[in-house]
Amino acid sequence: MDLEDERDALVRADRDIEDGKARIRRQQEIIRELSSSGHDTTSAVRLLGTLEDTLTAMNDHRLLIVARIEQMRNDL
């Protein structure tokens, strides 16, 4: 990949991270709604954990992209 491709990947990663954060906020709302109406939240909480783990992985991937961009800039 060249520098432009990496920059495009960074834009996509940032967009994916924002989408992931929105999904987490929505899942937290769902958990509150379920809890306040007396429903079991076990599955919803498990899904929230998965979403949070995925967001962590997306942030880690973003850091790798940033590092590649920095390396490419240094190589110029």
Given this model, what pLDDT does residue 3 score? 95
What's the average model confidence in pLDDT over 64-70? 98
Residue with tokens 């967009």: 15
CA separation for the pair 68, 57 (Å, rounded): 17
pLDDT band of 76, cuts 50, 70, 90: confident
Residue 1 has pLDDT above 90, yes or no: no
* pLDDT tens string 8-53: 999 999 999 999 999 999 999 999 999 999 999 999 999 999 999 9
pTM for this entry: 0.92
**Region of residue 38 (left: phi > 0; alpha: psi -120 to 50; beta: else):** left
Structure token pair of residue 31? 């958990």
CB contact at 8 A, 53 and 74: no
